[in-house]
Chains A and B, each alone.
Chain A
Amino acid sequence: MIEIENLRKEYRQRDRTVVALDGVSLTVRPGEIFGVVGQSGAGKSTLIRCVNLLERPTSGVVRVNGQDMTRLRGAELRRARQRIGMIFQHFNLLSSRTVAENVALPLEVMGYPRRERQRRVAELLALVGLEDRADAYPAQLSGGQKQRVGIARALAAEPAVLLSDEATSALDPETTQSILALLRDLNQRLGLTILLITHEMGVVKEICHRVAVLEAGRIVESGTVAELASRPGSHLATTLFPRPALNGNRPDGLLATLMFVGAAADAPVMTTLVRQFSVDVNVLSGSIELVQGERIGQLQVALSGDRIDEALEWLRGQGLGVEVH
Chain B
Amino acid sequence: MGWFDLWPSLREALFATLYMVSVSAVIAVLGGLPIGVLLIATDRGGLFPAPLVNRVLSGIVNLGRSIPFIILMVALIPVTRAIVKTSLGSTAAIVPLSIAAIPFYARVAETALREVDRGLIEMAQAVGCNSWQVVAKVLIPEALPGLVRGLTITLISLIGHSAMAGAIGGGGLGDLAIRYGYQRFETDVMVATVVTLIILVQVVQGVGDRLAALLQHR
Chain B residue numbers with a CB within 8 Å of A157 are 127-128
In chain B, positions 107-127 with a C-beta closer than 8 Å to chain A are 117, 119-120, 122-127
Instruction: Report the interface size for chain B: residues with CB under 8 A from the other chain.
Output: 22
A82 within 8 A of B: yes
Q: Mark B46-63, 1 if CB is under 8 A from A, else 0.
A: 000000000000000000
Minimum CB distance partner of A108 in chain B: B137
In chain A, positions 101-118 with a C-beta closer than 8 Å to chain B are 105-106, 108-110
A153 within 8 A of B: yes
Chain B residue numbers with a CB within 8 Å of A94 are 120, 137-138, 141-142
Chain A proximity of B105: nearest CB distance (Å): 20
Instruction: Report the interface size for chain A: residues with CB under 8 A from the other chain.
Output: 27
**A82, B144: Cα distance in complex, Å:** 27
Minimum CB distance partner of B127 in chain A: A106
Chain A residue numbers with a CB within 8 Å of B130 are 75, 78
Q: Do A109 and B129 touch across chains, with their CB atoms under 8 A apart? A: yes
In chain A, positions 84-127 with a C-beta closer than 8 Å to chain B are 84, 86, 88, 90, 92, 94-97, 105-106, 108-110
Minimum CB distance partner of A75 in chain B: B130
B85 within 8 A of A: no
Chain A proximity of B128: nearest CB distance (Å): 4
Chain A residue numbers with a CB within 8 Å of B141 are 94, 96-97
Q: Do B123 and A96 touch across chains, with their CB atoms under 8 A apart? A: no
Chain B residue numbers with a CB within 8 Å of A84 are 126
In chain B, positions 142-193 with a C-beta closer than 8 Å to chain A are 142, 144
B79 within 8 A of A: no
Which among B123, B130, B141 has the greatest number of chain A C-beta atoms within 10 A?
B123
Chain A residue numbers with a CB within 8 Å of B126 are 52, 54, 81, 84, 86
Minimum CB distance partner of B120 in chain A: A92
Q: Do B128 and A109 touch across chains, with their CB atoms under 8 A apart? A: yes
Tell me whether chain A's interface is mostly helix, strand or loop, or mixed: mixed
Tell me whether chain B's interface is mostly helix, strand or loop, or mixed: helix
A316 within 8 A of B: no
Q: Do B127 and A109 touch across chains, with their CB atoms under 8 A apart? A: yes
**A110, B124: Cα distance in complex, Å:** 12
Given A95-B142, A96-B144, residue A139 in contact with residue B122 (CB < 8 A): no
Which among A78, A96, A108, A156 has the greatest number of chain B C-beta atoms within 10 A?
A96
Chain A residue numbers with a CB within 8 Å of B128 are 78-79, 81-82, 106, 109-110, 157
In chain A, positions 153-168 with a C-beta closer than 8 Å to chain B are 153, 156-157
Chain A residue numbers with a CB within 8 Å of B218 are 95, 139
> Given known contacts A95-B216, A109-B127, what 7 new A-B pairs fall within 8 Å (CB)?
A78-B130, A81-B127, A94-B142, A95-B217, A96-B142, A109-B133, A139-B217
What residues make up the interface of A, taking CB atoms closer than 8 Å to B?
52, 54, 75, 78-79, 81-82, 84, 86, 88, 90, 92, 94-97, 105-106, 108-110, 137-139, 153, 156-157
A-B contact pairs, 24 of them (CB 8 A): A52-B126, A54-B122, A78-B128, A81-B126, A82-B127, A86-B126, A86-B127, A90-B117, A92-B119, A94-B120, A94-B137, A94-B141, A94-B142, A95-B142, A95-B217, A95-B218, A96-B141, A96-B142, A105-B124, A109-B128, A109-B129, A138-B217, A139-B217, A157-B127
